[in-house]
Structure 1
Amino acid sequence: MVIGELVPKTVSLARAERVALLVARPFLWFLNTFHWAINLLDGVSGAIVKALGVSAPQVHGVAHSTEELQIQIRQARERGLLAPGEEKFILSAMELAQIQVREIMVPRPDMHTLPVESNLDEVMRAFATTQRSRIPVYRGSQDQILGFVHIKDMIWILLDRERRLAENQTPPPFDLRRVFREVLIVPETKPASELLAEFRAHRAGMAVVVDEFGSILGLVTMEDILEQMVGEIHDEFDVVEGPLTLADGALIFDAALNVRDLDAQYGITLPEDPAYATVGGFVLDQLGFIPKGGESFEYNNFRFSVVEMDGKRVARVKIQRVRSPEPDGNPANAADAMLQLAKGPKSPAGDS
């Protein structure tokens, strides 16, 4: 497989024009010599497949595997045909199909919701304090999400009430049930690429994520998916908070940080596992019990310590390098290595 497929494929992709010129004449001779045998085999196999009642698959003139496309994209970047940001965007978009919505959703404990009985003041106060444009609405408990209310609809209601009051008219009573919109319900295992297409088809921007039993796990927005391709998106209202850096170089992270983001932004790689999607989930998986705070363990030259708990949920985790990397130009000690990570997200290869 290595000699017969992978090596020739890689060489031909890297030196496409040169390889094509070398093999063109031999391939032409082979085709002219054995075309009758090829046509005969195609005809016989086609007749047998047709007799079995199976329709032959359509043949595409040009088809590339994901690996081939990734190689071509990286080579285009190396030759200067693509900017580093463009390469990262294309490769990230290709990986959307491998990302499940449970990995990028806002978990249920972090959801901002409103009971359907909320009055106008409570709804507007919720928008003001959360700085969200959409807030889910529930009846009874968060497992009964009815829909979501959009800030644009509330603005129209406020403007209409102001106009009526100016005209000495009595505004109609506010009822949140007449305002909220329908929300998409998606399973936790749905690929992010499919949800993006569903968002476009339904002209929606939010979906509620449920498990196999129909229990609410969290919510995911269009922004959550786009951030997997272009990185974190912050507007003028977002408070950007990075990890807290201690004097010894250790970093304290929010345990809700996704393991993919921990790798992409800080170069700390954790194993991907269906059992968890966040740093806090990784800590629970490694410990095997609900910690009380202060518990620690080592993994891949890093020490993970539980700094803060929120009930039974890990809230903050301290990560510290415990062994220096091999001398190959990397930081010489643990503190320097962690301080280098704390300077911010790493740049794509080739960035200045």
Structure 2
Amino acid sequence: MSDPHPARTPDKEDKRTFLRKLAEFLHPGPDSTAELIETLAEAEDNNIIGAESRVMLEGVIRMADMTAGDVMVAATRMDLLDIQAPMDELINTVIDTAHSRFPVFEGERENVIGILMAKDLLKLRRAPELNIRALLRPAVFVPETKGLNDLLRDFRGNRNHLAIVIDEFGRVAGLITIEDVLEQIVGEIEDEFDIAEDEGDIFALADRTYRVSGDTPLERVNDAFSVSLNGVDPDQHFDTIGGLIAHQMGHVPKRGERYSVGGLDFLVLHTKGGAVKWFKVSPIADVDG
């Protein structure tokens, strides 16, 4: 006859040895973020995890302490659409900035009334009787103090991949996208303008012009083009060509803008996060010719 009350077997047998249990008792796991990150570095050194895995895990750990205000695009750098602007102006803005989503305001820039998907503008071409207001999607507003972990969960749940960040007074402080959050984990997400690091930050194009990344050191630009841009503003020191051009223009450059300095013509090809990603550079003599 079988035992009506058989002994319960544990759900999972603890297979750790006595020495392993003793070692874990004497040397408990990390109790701070810094120690945990140090442990990940040791794991990489011991070939337990790869370098990319370590970087991603560190990103996840660090992100736990970050907020929307830490990674947002500031309000002064936001590309917005005015709902009262002519259609041609709106389309030009969409093309020049190359974003897929745009906050739309009415009256003042602070008055964001919705989000416009760039692809929805195509509907106006097919159905002119529609108006932009009918195409707007609700804007999502989050406080600067919103944790990135919570924000990522919201993005995944509501399928709104852009949020307007507001400060403690209810004013627009900036915007943040799901890409901004994910980049804290996986690093910068490349787009069609990005090239591999080993291809360099200055390279020649077929039309005898050059593509130059905005974070190229100024000295490298001087050497590559046999110019001297260090003395353009003796009272200021610039590490990168993007910093110099932005200072000379007096504002954050936008795609399509052009500026000439030191015998070179700089055309802004692409911007991201309020900074120039790529310039197209030509000697001024070639431009004039």
User: Structure 1-normalised TM-score?
Assistant: 0.50
Structure 1 CA distance for aligned equivalents of residues 213 and 17 of structure 2: 49
Match of 2:144 in 1: 188
Q: Which has the higher contact order (CA 8 A, sep 6+)?
A: 2
Q: Distance in 1 between matches of 2:140 and 2:94?
A: 21
Q: Report the aligned-residue RMSD.
A: 3.7
Alignment correspondent of 1:178: 134
| Count of residues in Structure 1 that have an aligned counterpart in Structure 2 | 205
Asked if residue 241 in structure 1 is aligned to residue 216 in structure 2, the reply is no
2:124 and 2:131 in contact (8 A); partners too: no
The alignment status of 1:99 with 2:71, answered yes or no, reads no
More helix per residue:
1
- Asked if 2 retains the 8 angstrom alpha-carbon contact of 1:120 and 1:174, the reply is no
Contact 2:30 2:39 survives alignment (8 Å): no
Equivalent residue for 1:350?
Answer: none
The structural deviation recorded for 1:184 is 1.2
Shift of 1:242: 3.8
> Cα deviation per residue 1:242-291 (whole Å; 9 max; x = unaligned)?
424233999xxxxxxxxxxxxxxxxxxxxxxxxxxxxxxxxxxxxxxxxx
User: What is the deviation of 1:234?
Assistant: 2.2
Structure 2 counterpart of 1:247, which letter?
A: E
Q: Indicate how the Cα distance of structure 1 residues 157 and 87 shifts in structure 2: closer, same or farther if over 3 A, else same.
A: same
* CA distance in structure 2 between the partners assigned to 1:157 and 1:17 by the alignment: 70
State the identity as a percent: 30
Q: 2:82 aligns with which of 108, 115, 118?
A: 115
Shift of 1:102: 1.7
| CA drift at 1:137 | 0.2
1:84-163 equivalences in 2 (<5 Å): 84-158=51-125, 161=126
What's 1:206 paired with?
A: 162
| Aligned amino acid, residue 222 of structure 1 | I
Task: Return the offset for 1:77.
Answer: 1.7
Structure 1 partner of 2:264: none
Equivalent-residue separation in structure 2 for 1:150 and 1:185 (angstroms):
17
What secondary structure does 2:168 align onto? coil
Q: Which amino acid aligns with 1:294?
A: D
Could you tell me whether the CA contact under 8 Å between 2:165 and 2:175 is conserved in 1?
A: yes
2:12 matched residue in structure 1 = none
Query: 1:139 Cα shift?
Result: 0.8
Q: Could you tell me whether the CA contact under 8 Å between 1:208 and 1:220 is conserved in 2? A: yes
The structure having more radius of gyration, on CA atoms, is: 1
The alpha-carbon distance between structure 1 residues 74 and 123, as it changes in their structure 2 partners (threshold 3 A), is same
Q: Normalization by structure 2: what TM-score?
A: 0.59
Q: Is the contact made by 2:106 and 2:112 (CA closer than 8 Å) also made in structure 1? A: yes
Structure 2 unaligned residues grouped into runs of 5+: 1-15, 195-210, 223-232, 254-289
SS of alignment partner, residue 213 of structure 1? coil
Give the conservation status (yes or no) of the 8 Å contact 1:211–1:217. Answer: yes
Counterparts of 2:179 and 2:54 in 1: how far apart (Å)?
20
Give the aligned residue type for 2:40. Answer: I
Gap change, CA 1:133 and 1:249, over 3 Å in 2: closer
| Equivalent residues of 2:100, 2:118 under 8 A apart | yes
Kept in 2: contact 1:102–1:189 (CA 8 A): yes
Q: Distance in 2 between matches of 1:18 and 1:87?
A: 30
Deviation sequence 1:218-254 (CA, Å, 0-9, x none): 111111111111111221146882424233999xxxx
